[in-house]
Structure 1
Amino acid sequence: MHLNLLSVFVALFGSYRAKVDFDLVVRQQYAFPILYAADMAKRYGYKAVTIIEFGVAGGAGLMNMCEIAKRTTKATGIEFRVFGFDTGTGMPPAIDYRDLPESFQAGDFPMDQERLREALPDFAELVIGDIADTVPAFCKTLTEDAPVGFVAIDVDYYSSAKKTLEILKGAPEHYLPIVPVYLDDIGVDGSNPWTGELLAVKEFNEENALRKIAPFTLLRSQRIFKNTQWIDRMFAAHIHDHALRSPENKREPQRSLPNEYINWRSKDTADAS
């Protein structure tokens, strides 16, 4: 109850960062990782970040991603390049049980491309076509000036998610060291490590020695509202071959921890003498 009351105050008077912390931004599952990516980019000296939504459908999520990006830029100074990947014609046919055909089928979630393109801001772009073709081509356009900082996967099928995760196999300098990955469809009843997006992640981890996708570490314990469903769907891609995760990368200054017990014992010794 006290958190709900405090949320009213934050909604009226709080900063953008406070509103993200209190889950007061529409699509918290985008607001948290985009702000996280901006903070990491700022820490490491980047000026821009690339964020991606796979599975645009009608475009509400992509439009919301753009709005969140604007607000995050205002709060942090980090600019964003936004890309939305989709077939443009709805979902393709399922390959087998792994695609959860009991929940999804060919033709679901079509797009009005013309209207959506007109509505997007100039820093956002649609990438239309089979992701088996568009993702490899897109990876060749990535640069270290605007590394990938967040990937939202809402493609429903295992087979589509498998192709989508190719986005994380490029040169390490084209990514932030940790890339939040949102898996939208692992909440479907039939989803498990042998079907859907979870199976695609499992196979990705098996196939890539230095790129691993895992649940976002201790995220629930860090959130004010701990029972929201998006927390369970938030993962992180760890780019273990990134230069910033190498022992050769040195931080300045070095970290140190005070020991109050030494000071306390020294004071006691001085008092006793």
Structure 2
Amino acid sequence: MSYLTKRLTKKHQWNKLFKQRLSEPLHLNLIALFVFLFGSFRKKVAYDLVIRPQYAYGILEAAISAKKLGFTTISVIEFGVANGGGLMNMIEIAKKVTKSTGINVDIYGFDTGTGMPDPVDFRDHPEYYNTGDFPMNKAALEEKTNGKAKLIYGPIKDTLETFKKSLSEDCPIGFISVDVDYYSSTKEVLELFTAKAHSFLPLTHVYFDDIFMPHHNDKCGELLAIKEFNDINPYRNISYHRFFENQRIFKNANWVKQMYYFHVLDHDYRSKLKRNRKAYVLDNPYLKFEGNKKQFD
């Protein structure tokens, strides 16, 4: 039985399919069926036909951006690996992204290896989570991911500084998934976002997993950590792109509202005043001038 088939045996997956997919226009779902059967990988990403579409979108967009900037390799990171379903999806997606774009993908997974730590206070949402939740089967996961992803074990505050020092500007971070549940853990994760500017793509995609449940708000959990980060980092900004939903073919999926942009405002690319291209010229159908593509006869 395939992984996709197994997922479809779960009741919550059918609820999700009904609410987030079948509620979309019929003609789009019919087109999506054709794309599922015959479409390219990029088309399947556009139509949300890849398992964990947030990973597929984030990694593919990062690779496309990296290629335009002249890179050959990007880094992608999952914070909160647990038993590794997401990390293994990331590995499979990365293979297809490399085949589609020619960009290599280095994958990193951060986890305590022993489940969730103790919550600090109400900001960590102890009403949802408990100490020891989401443990990892290290042996089984390492066997499956050996040579395909690097697992980094331990409390984030103890492992992140060494990782930051190891980052190379030749292999910038292009996509990050944050699935550590707690405010306190997310705050530690966001210390990565203070690394040197060239450790990242100028625009890096970030997926925040734990912001969709009813009790989450901007005074608790990941949303509070994002707000506090933005308040104290004038040249780094984590923000939701207000028009991102409009750019997607399927708009009802939760992940569309969980994808954020990390703007590295002190990156050289965002300050260059000279570009190696011709000046943009706007057409005007009411005037005649050389190069105007829309003028009336």
Match of residue 244, structure 2, among 205, 214, 219: 219
Paired position in structure 2 for 1:30: 55
Paired position in structure 2 for 1:63: 88
Match of residue 90, structure 1, among 112, 115, 134: 115
**Structure 2 unaligned spans of 5+:** 1-25
Paired position in structure 2 for 1:21: 46
Question: Deviations along 1:18-39, whole A, 9 cap, x unmatched?
Answer: 0000000000111111111011
Task: Name the SS of the counterpart of 2:239 in structure 1.
Answer: strand
Question: Deviations along 1:108-132, whole A, 9 cap, x unmatched?
Answer: 0000111111101524110001100
Task: Name the SS of the counterpart of 1:52 in structure 2.
Answer: strand
- Answering whether residue 203 of structure 2 is matched by residue 178 of structure 1, we say yes
Match of residue 230, structure 1, among 234, 255, 258: 255
Paired position in structure 1 for 2:34: 9
108 and 152 in structure 1: CA distance in 2 versus 1, 3 angstrom threshold? same
Match of residue 171, structure 2, among 146, 160, 165: 146
1:82, 1:52 → 2: CA distance?
Answer: 6
Task: Name the SS of the counterpart of 2:281 in structure 1.
Answer: coil
- Answering whether residue 255 of structure 2 is matched by residue 206 of structure 1, we say no
Aligned residues of 1:58 and 1:110 also touching (Cα < 8 A): yes
Q: Which amino acid aligns with 2:181?
A: D
Match of residue 105, structure 1, among 108, 114, 130: 130
**Structure 1 residue 193: Cα displacement:** 0.3
When the two structures are superposed, what TM-score results if normalisation uses the length of structure 2? 0.87
Match of residue 126, structure 1, among 129, 151, 171: 151
211-220 or 62-71, which deviates more: 211-220
- Answering whether residue 187 of structure 2 is matched by residue 193 of structure 1, we say no
2:141, 2:148 → 1: CA distance?
Answer: 14
Question: Deviations along 1:55-107, whole A, 9 cap, x unmatched?
Answer: 00010000001111111110000100000000000000000000000000110
2:169, 2:124 → 1: CA distance?
Answer: 34
Aligned residues of 1:180 and 1:216 also touching (Cα < 8 A): no
Task: Name the SS of the counterpart of 2:201 in structure 1.
Answer: coil
Match of residue 139, structure 2, among 99, 114, 117: 114
2:105, 2:279 → 1: CA distance?
Answer: 31
Task: Name the SS of the counterpart of 1:93 in structure 2.
Answer: coil
1:208, 1:78 → 2: CA distance?
Answer: 30
Paired position in structure 1 for 2:186: 161
2:101, 2:34 → 1: CA distance?
Answer: 22
- Answering whether residue 51 of structure 2 is matched by residue 44 of structure 1, we say no
1:32, 1:51 → 2: CA distance?
Answer: 12
User: What percent identity do the matched residue pairs reach?
Assistant: 49
Paired position in structure 2 for 1:77: 102
Question: Deviations along 1:155-178, whole A, 9 cap, x unmatched?
Answer: 000000000011111111111001
Question: Deviations along 1:132-151, whole A, 9 cap, x unmatched?
Answer: 01111101000011100011
1:144, 1:206 → 2: CA distance?
Answer: 26
**Structure 1 residue 181: Cα displacement:** 0.7
**Structure 1 residue 252: Cα displacement:** 2.1
- Answering whether residue 160 of structure 2 is matched by residue 135 of structure 1, we say yes
- Answering whether residue 272 of structure 2 is matched by residue 253 of structure 1, we say no
**Structure 1 unaligned spans of 5+:** none
1:153, 1:237 → 2: CA distance?
Answer: 13
Aligned residues of 1:80 and 1:123 also touching (Cα < 8 A): no
Task: Name the SS of the counterpart of 1:49 in structure 2.
Answer: strand
Aligned residues of 1:66 and 1:121 also touching (Cα < 8 A): no
When the two structures are superposed, what TM-score results if normalisation uses the length of structure 1? 0.94
Aligned residues of 1:98 and 1:158 also touching (Cα < 8 A): yes
**Structure 1 residue 247: Cα displacement:** 3.4
189-198 or 118-127, which deviates more: 118-127
